[in-house]
A and B are shown apart, each in its own frame.
Chain A
């Protein structure tokens, strides 16, 4: 069975991008706005200009850092038993993270999200079979900004059993997240059975903010997995050429690997990316351009070359409302993700320049993900599936309906979408001529009403509550919204 795959770079081209990245790190360097990191990199032999905060990294340091990076990253469910394994060609779909706006699934209104909206996203994601990793999807407006990053983790932890893609926007973000994780799985399992992965974004071109570096070094110290996310904008903060954008992003990724692996060897790292097309007509950063798929596929090739798992923001749409564009862009993205072996396809439910989450999009993305995953499995060829004996038996002009083979295999062979319409026109009309958004809305309503999330064991729930309470107290936050 030939597994369907796409390759957008040849082996030689991958090698060339790698070598030129080393050259960039060695000749141009990266700007790192973090004193501890600068000192550490100077101590290991990088050429550091403390005034300009520029670090030029010699090749041997990058090679050593890559050697220290583990090839497999496991993300556990909060029960510490189930996990997804980021490795090889398997793709897992991930809800888009940290949206500042919520597109209300009932009214279509774009507004600031509340804690209860985040709880809805978590519950829905918990129920969706092809959405494997939840995220701290929204930044709720009903909690002070200063603790919003950790509040999101807490809310999601309570309402979803799946692994969580998250990030910190405060200095205390990671250490406090480790406390929340400890409350759930115990101290020894924070690094052994991590259920959160942190987004670490470089600031292109070739720059690292002090907060990001602090978060990265903290994750390394705790052994919490990170995905390092270069975010080149073609023609904005990166060359307009896809090759140039990929090259620059690759250099940024490698510099992140160096910071992490020399903070603590063995830090679990995923090669991630959020490439965008900087639209010269509107000065917007677009995620739905087809070239985003090409760059994402290139990142995946490079990740496989380095022997680390990969991720990319391939599921985000630029649509402003839930229309055709909101579904066709992630459909391309999902297919590209599975065909190029991107391990984490990020952005389910996400729209509006990575700024908004829509539940309508989330549930349809789940069908899109299911379809893409099915496609990636390809065509199974063996005696049983070729079924030449059956063709012989049925003969010219016969029908396959009544055979056991049909009953057994039809179900196995096809991905059956939950929401896409396959009825006859007449039945469709009789059942109300519903368009996809109506079907999706009804589905959401049903799941939110009927689905129940596996609750945390009472003692664990209590220790989690206490850990969060302490964090809130530290910041003098007394009133919190109901979840």
Chain B
């Protein structure tokens, strides 16, 4: 096994184990010995998280394991990104997604899990957090130019903000630039249709399938 292969193998393992210290150590080593950082991201970091996301869907690991792996991946990414930029290149994702819990709702966990699972499916996810007003979604669409916007709502009252947010994106003339998907306990497929969303997922499993379907990727 070459030095490169050996490092990639260890880096991927560290991601799978959710070990940020180890990831950080090996990522620095990758930079130090001058191995292609982009290849390290794709073959080790992303590969590790993809493997875990896949295992979760199959019921082989716990969601906490996926979250830990995604966090470890981000540690590695922040180290390797500088080097990638230096070489004038960029990390390729399957797509870019902006996600947030709508205004009036401070439920974090469902949204965060979906964000992590989407990351673990190979997407770049920008998390706007909770209690996100419609205007902030609009600004995020302008700033990040995502392929998809995801909105979570856990309350029957805050659910109405999903409609408002879609309206705000429409009014800003951005509706045809993004696909919009929604989720959360009180939401339904009918509700998604009614407010003109492009997709709906009732749970974390379906959120993964939904996003793959939207991007035409085999589930």
Residues of A within 8 A of B (CB): 33, 100, 112, 139, 145, 148, 169-170, 203, 207, 209, 211, 233, 235-237, 240, 278, 280-284, 353, 355
Contacts and interface: CB of A to CB of B under 8 A. Distances in A.
Contacts of A353: 185
10 contacts: A100-B185, A139-B156, A145-B156, A145-B157, A211-B104, A235-B64, A282-B203, A283-B110, A353-B185, A355-B185
Contact of B63 (A139, A148, A283): A283
Interface string B164-200: 0000000000000000000001101000000000000
B106 interface: yes
A169 B157 contact: yes
The dominant DSSP class at the A interface is loop
A282 B109 contact: no
A282 B156 contact: no
Task: Give the 6 A-B residue pairs with the shortest CB-CB distance, closest first.
Answer: A280-B62, A283-B204, A280-B63, A169-B157, A283-B63, A100-B186
Contacts of A284: 203
A207 B160 CA distance: 23
B156 A236 contact: no
Interface of B: 56, 59, 62-65, 104, 106-110, 113, 155-157, 159-160, 185-186, 188, 203-205
B107 A170 contact: no
A38 to B, nearest CB: 16
Contacts of B63: 280-281, 283
B64 A280 contact: yes
Nearest to A100: B186
B106 A209 contact: yes
The dominant DSSP class at the B interface is loop
B107 A203 contact: yes
A209 B104 CA distance: 8
Contact of B160 (A145, A236, A278): A145
Q: Which one of B65, B156, B203 has the greatest number of beta carbons of chain A within 10 Å?
A: B156
B203 A283 contact: yes
B156 A169 contact: yes
A231 to B, nearest CB: 11
B186 A233 contact: no
Contacts of A283: 63, 110, 113, 203-204
Contacts of B107: 203
Contacts of A237: 108-109
A281 B157 contact: no
A115 B102 CA distance: 28
Nearest to A33: B106
B156 A281 contact: no
A202 to B, nearest CB: 11
Contacts of B64: 235, 240, 280
Nearest to A148: B156
Q: Which one of B106, B113, B159 has the greatest number of beta carbons of chain A within 10 Å?
A: B106
A236 B154 CA distance: 15
A439 to B, nearest CB: 32
A139 B188 CA distance: 14
Contacts of B160: 145
Contacts of B62: 280-281
